[in-house]
Chain A
Amino acid sequence: MTLDITGLKVSIGGKEVLRGVDLTLQEGRVHGLAGESGSGKTMTGLAVLGLLPHGSRTSGSITLGGRELLTMPPAELNKVRGGEVAMVFQDPATSLHPMLTIGRQLTEHMRHHLGLGKREARARAVELLGKVRIPGAEEAVGRYPHQFSGGMRQRIAIAVALACSPRVLIADEPTTALDVTVQAGVLRLLRGLCDELGLAVLLVTHDLGVMSAVADEVSVMKDGLVVETGPRGRVLREPSHPYTRSLLDSLPDAQIDEGGR
């Protein structure tokens, strides 16, 4: 299923934070979104989910398989969010409830959205934990988030996001809080899920290395606008916008090669 964002504008408190964003997410493709702090990456993701801060004003269009999300009635949008469109955040604590077992968090979601019975939901929870490679999934469903390492918590947050078989996954800096060794596993997982399940993934990351490893297409944002979009290899190797070039030039590698630490 394709997600199309066209001419998306968002203002919060009179300030225009998105000034006409165009982005297309396609089935089985990872679309990477880069850009400096405050450029509007997170706001773009939140707009898709209908989770913008109170009092935000929106115009333009976001369509999912032909349906307009921006004007959708709240009840219907609620079904889309957490159903067809799911999200993973930088800090797994944002997605996981500390006082509930992870089995509960997975199954409640499914029972609510998919109307599954208790037993069915549990079986699917175990299957999902296996898919995100949590060892001993049968036993793990009875444990609480703090009993897992940071990398495992992020895998579990991804499992929760996948619970209702979404078609679109928005991942906002999903590996920024993780060790590189753990990040490698989560990136492989995301790529695998995208290929295997045909997910359309929006991967927000400031890390151009991460972008290069998993994204098929790359877009770069600046001041509420997408300034460049293209295939990963082209954007990272032959950027056409000066801002993209300046991002690449500011990488530690580039700085160190110039002899300045």
Chain B
Amino acid sequence: MSLLTIDDLVVEHRSPGRPVVRAVAGASLEVRAGEVVGLVGESGCGKSTLARAVCGLNPITSGGISFEGEAVTPLGLRRRRLTGIQMVFQDPYASLNPRRRVGDQIADGLRTSGDTTTRPADLLERVGLPRDFERRHPHEFSGGQRQRIAIARALAARPRLLIGDEPISALDASAQAQVATLMRDLAVESGAGLLFISHDLSVVRLIADRIAVMYLGRIVESGDTAEVWANPRHPYTRALLEAIPAPDGLGVLPAELPGDVPDPADPPAGCRFHPRCPHVMDVCRVKDPTFGPVACWLHADDGPSAPAAAGRPEKA
């Protein structure tokens, strides 16, 4: 059974005197227990809004979110906190209290899960930090260490779903892959699902079993990470992958995707990607491809996991 199911979710932001921003505009996604799903897409495409809705922090306009078969509603937030969704944010201070000792904050999580045998220092050890750090305060650590502490605190509550919203983007470049791999290992080890949101495709590729590509409020393509990588089908997914420079020493500048992410308050008609798409056809300007797994008129007949095409690299 699926752990988290998001079905045709719409989430809107309303602020006085401004047009309604439909940040999530009909997105569907699943996360299974023990599975790592990477959610990628350009800044402003709605990744955080989706994650916050899953945690009950943003009201849902339409569509549904269910966690272990039960509907997620903003009111159910407190119960759900007890029942198993934990989030790690970009800024570790969003999950940690600067004035309390690290050990005490981890102990709170342990209390939530009713765990009386694990000690806070045990969790510090699991995230690769010395046991005696429990007596210190968050400001005494580097960014990478603080994010490890935030992960230890989240894990203490024994979540069945862990969500990381850009948990590595504030870290020093070289600590990013380490912390991402740690999150994956700890989630999988405890049988939890992990929804890992990041704009860093190379890290997502390293840790995710499945990948979901978001564009302007929609999931435009999803599938097995290796398959999407070897055979990206949506033109936007292709553009993303082509923009990653290869470390081949040849001095090739990566391809640039023209234009910016459009304003979600005023999305283009038809296919939302059409103003930037190199393959745009007449139908794209008028009809919105709302189907999956690849939301594109070029792939209207594709099945869920189309067999990987010839381009797939040989494995040794």
Answer yes or no: do A and B interact. yes
Measured CB to CB, the closest approach of chain A to B156, in angstroms, equals 26
CB of A182 within 8 A of CB of B42, answer yes
Contact B256 A181 (CB under 8 A): yes
Interface-lining segment among A2-10, A49-57, A209-217: A209-217
Docked pose: A214 CA to B246 CA in angstroms = 11
Q: Which of A243-261 contact B (CB under 8 A)?
A: 248, 251-253, 255-259, 261
A contact face: mostly helix, strand, loop, or mixed: helix
Residue B249 is within 8 A (CB to CB) of chain A in the complex: yes
CB contact list, B196-217 vs A, under 8 A: 199, 201-203, 205-207
B249 touches A212 (CB 8 A): yes
In the bound complex, residues from chain B placing their C-beta under 8 Å from that of A173 are 173
Are B199 and A179 in touch, CB under 8 angstroms?
A: yes
Inter-subunit contact A213/B245 (CB<8 Å): yes
On whether the beta carbons of A257 and B316 are closer than 8 Å, the reply is yes
In angstroms, Cα B313 to Cα A182, docked, is 27
Nearest residue, chain A, Cβ from B249: A236
Indicate the member of B172, B248, B249, B251 with the most A CB atoms within 10 Å: B249
Of the candidates A183, A207, A235, A251, the one whose C-beta lies within 8 Å of that of B249 is: A235
Is B311 an interface residue, CB under 8 A from the partner? no
What separation, in Å, do the CA atoms of A149 and B42 have in the docked complex?
11
Cα A183 to Cα B201 in complex, Å, equals 12
A183 to B244, CA, bound (A): 9
B243 within 8 A of A: yes
Q: Which of A149, A176, A206, A209 contacts B44 (CB 8 A)?
A: A149
Report whether B253 and A206 are in contact in the complex, using a CB–CB cutoff of 8 Å: no
A227-246 vs B, Cβ < 8 Å mask (1 yes, 0 no): 00000111111000000000
**Is B75 in contact with chain A by the CB < 8 A criterion?**
no
- Please, how many residues of chain A have a CB less than 8 angstroms from a CB on the other chain? 48
State whether A232 and B251 are in contact (beta carbons under 8 Å apart), knowing that A149-B44, A257-B316 are contacts in the complex.
yes
Q: Which of B248, B254, B261, B315 contacts A236 (CB 8 A)?
A: B248
Q: How far is the CA of A214 from the CA of B251 in the complex (A)?
A: 6
Q: B residues within 8 A CB of A236?
A: 247-249
Q: Interface 1/0s, chain B 40-57, versus A by CB < 8 A?
A: 001110000000000000
A180, A207, A259: the one contacting B243 at CB < 8 Å is: A180
Q: Does B175 contact A (CB under 8 A)?
A: yes
Contact A212-B246, Cβ < 8 Å, known A37-B173, A181-B257: yes
Q: State which of B239, B245, B257 has its C-beta within 8 Å of the C-beta of A209.
A: B245
B175 engages A209 (CB within 8 Å): no
- With both beta carbons as reference points, the residue of chain A lying nearest to B226 in the complex is identified as A256
Which residues of B lie under 8 Å from residue A151 when comparing CB positions?
260
Minimum C-beta distance from A120 to chain B (A):
31
* Interface residue? A72 (CB, 8 A): no
Q: Is A36 an interface residue (CB 8 A)?
A: yes
Q: For A211, list chain B residues within 8 Å (CB).
A: 247
Known: A149-B43, A233-B251. A181 touches B239 (CB 8 A): yes
In the complex, A90→B173 CA distance in Å? 9
Q: Residues of A with Cβ closer than 8 Å to B?
A: 36-38, 90, 149-151, 173, 176-185, 187-188, 191, 205-214, 216, 232-237, 248, 251-253, 255-259, 261
